[in-house]
Structure 1
């Protein structure tokens, strides 16, 4: 048995969990809603929204661990996943606002999550997981996929 296998597993796992914790903190810091506070008050929409972003990030971190050529490569792709999901949240907020304005409904994700709109929480969950899967699928160094 190669002891490096166990060390590699431990190190990659710890880096993966660290990426998740940093992502969680950045998600909380970069959104208008303070989702942790809302979650502890029983807001299901906030839990779905934050949980979805974490699931999307976990999908990216898994692909990064699986496809990276080094630990620093995995870390880089984890950071890219966090940034992509933060940007996605704001793009989704903008699109929702524009669609709402087009149909003459004053709606934002921020307000909907604040009001515990579970449908919006599910939408954010599914969009976040979808983006995570797309990023994960693109995260490869296989030359056949590029040429």
Structure 2
């Protein structure tokens, strides 16, 4: 018989993780000048690559925070750090590529790939930093 005594903790951590993912997606889509979901619905691969990289760049440190946090409050604080770092990364990419939105709308997959890899790289470094 499996021991399900930790199921409530799992549910709480999982629920908070999903909530953070929803918050990140909502705010990221709001912060980007291009309408990524509409672009994706119309087959724009660059939008899918860029958004996918941002999501993975956020989820990596969130997963690390979930694995290393000692309480839900601890997870919430480190989840907030992950949000802020990933949004700062996106702002940095927008500074590096001044016409990022136009490039994504034009389905420039090279630019989207660069943005996605940068988001993921920063996310992995952020995740590693959270292992203290």
TM-score of the two chains, using structure 1 as the length reference: 0.83
Other-structure match for 1:130: 121
RMSD: 1.3
Other-structure match for 2:36: 35
Q: How far apart, CA to CA, are the structure 1 residues paired with 2:97 and 2:108? A: 14
Other-structure match for 2:26: 25
Task: Give unpaired runs (5+ residues) of structure 2.
Answer: none
Q: How far apart, CA to CA, are the structure 1 residues paired with 2:49 and 2:79? A: 21
Other-structure match for 1:120: 111
- Of 93, 101, 120, 1:110 maps to 101
Deviates more, 1:58-67 or 1:72-81: 72-81
Higher CA-based Rg? 1
Other-structure match for 2:48: 47
Task: Give unpaired runs (5+ residues) of structure 1.
Answer: 98-107, 142-147
Q: How far apart, CA to CA, are the structure 2 residues paired with 1:66 and 1:122? A: 28
Other-structure match for 1:145: none
